[in-house]
Amino acid sequence: MKNLILPLFVIFCTISNAQTTTAGFENFDLNSESFLNGSDFSGGFESGDVFLHNEFNDIFGSWSGFAISNVTDNTTSGFMNQYAAITGEGRNSENYAVSFVSLESVIQIQNEAAPEGLYVTNSTYAYFSMLDGDSFSKKFGGLTGNDPDFFLLTIGAYQNGELTGTEVEFYLADYTFSDNSQDYIVDEWTYVDLTSLGDADSLSFTLTSSDVGEFGMNTPAYFCIDDLITTNPLSTQKGEDALFQVYPNPTTNRIRISGESIPEWVSVFDVNGSLVLQEANANEINLESLETGTYVLQAMIGGIVSSQLVVRR
């Protein structure tokens, strides 16, 4: 195969990259140790390409759906600390989102974007309730540590007001292992891949727990999210100029190339213009061996070369 390597400035001039947006909630100007819980009856919070739904009850001063917070208290247990993440901070900034799930919490995806992934962790309230138990909830694992307890977040996809049936599951706590040393309660920001949900226009978040009583789930129905990534697959080039699309982007390892035909070759360059990977007759390339960062993916399809930026997380 003939290696066709373009100068880096040419590569960047010919890029037609899908636009990736991260909702990190930094657009909300919060006072220190504070939160927004929908008491202004705005109905939710917009960040990046998403809108987080919120319902506020003025009679009881209660809320459901999502709130925005920068509360750092990750040591105080109980309901009075319902706005805190167990991490004590957002993933890359002070702000993050907390959800109290009544039946379901919903995030609407805007601007024709598609869900890529997000980071999830436990709330401080739910974390200590599962770790130690309280007046409403049991200690996970029970007295012996052998009880097969779990706390499960299920993320579903809406399309045109209907659930598609496609779901992603993430265990916020899992004590179902035969070896108790593997039992865990999530206490850090953890990435959840949402690409399998396709072109969902809204996301549904529900919680289930092994600890259920007469009135439903005993485990506090809270979790936290940050850095929700969406991708607009429409290329910045139009019509016949858009040779291919890449997904998922950002990625942790594999990038798939979607076009009219399989590329004759695919090359990946670092920001210095050095060739770091190359594959012939491939519509997929594995970036797992590369350091995290931004790269240029260049492909030849039908004798025409085009390039896009890709991000290795």
Domain ranges of the chain: 8-18+238-312, 20-232
pLDDT of the residue at 304: 72
Q: 163 by DSSP, 3-state: which? A: strand
Q: Residue 299 — left, alpha, or beta (φ > 0 → left; ψ -120 to 50 → alpha)?
A: beta
pLDDT of the residue at 18: 52
pLDDT of the residue at 34: 98
- Please, which pLDDT band fits residue 241 given cuts at 50, 70 and 90? very low
Cβ within 8 Å of residue 181, ≥6 positions away: none
> Is the model's pLDDT at 168 over the cut of 60?
yes
**pTM over the 0.85 mark:** no
Compare 244 and 186 and report the one with higher pLDDT: 186
> Is the model's pLDDT at 144 over the cut of 50?
yes
> Is the model's pLDDT at 242 over the cut of 50?
no
pLDDT of the residue at 264: 87
The mean pLDDT value for 14-26 works out to 70
Compare 200 and 298 and report the one with higher pLDDT: 200
pLDDT of the residue at 145: 95
Compare 238 and 46 and report the one with higher pLDDT: 46
Reported as a single tens digit per residue, the pLDDT across 76-131 is 999 999 999 999 999 989 999 999 999 999 999 998 889 989 999 999 999 999 99
pLDDT of the residue at 14: 41
- The second-level CATH assignment, the architecture, of 8-18+238-312 is Sandwich (2.60)
Beta strands in 101-215 (DSSP E): 105-109, 114-121, 150-159, 162-174, 184-185, 190-193, 202-209, 212-213
> Is the model's pLDDT at 175 over the cut of 80?
yes
Same fold, 8-18+238-312 and 20-232: no
> Is the model's pLDDT at 210 over the cut of 70?
yes
Reported as a single tens digit per residue, the pLDDT across 29-72 is 999 999 999 999 999 999 989 999 999 999 999 999 999 999 99
The mean pLDDT value for 283-309 works out to 84
> Is the model's pLDDT at 5 over the cut of 60?
no
Helices (H), ranges, 162-246:
none
> What is the separation, in whole angstroms, between the first and last Cα of the chain?
30
Helices (H), ranges, 52-167:
124-132
> Is the model's pLDDT at 240 over the cut of 80?
no
- Please, which pLDDT band fits residue 252 given cuts at 50, 70 and 90? confident
Beta strands in 219-264 (DSSP E): 222-232, 244-247, 254-259
pLDDT of the residue at 13: 39
Handedness of CA 175, 177, 180, 184 (dihedral sign): negative
- Please, which pLDDT band fits residue 19 given cuts at 50, 70 and 90? low
Homologous superfamily (CATH) for 20-232: Protein of unknown function DUF4465 (2.60.120.1350)
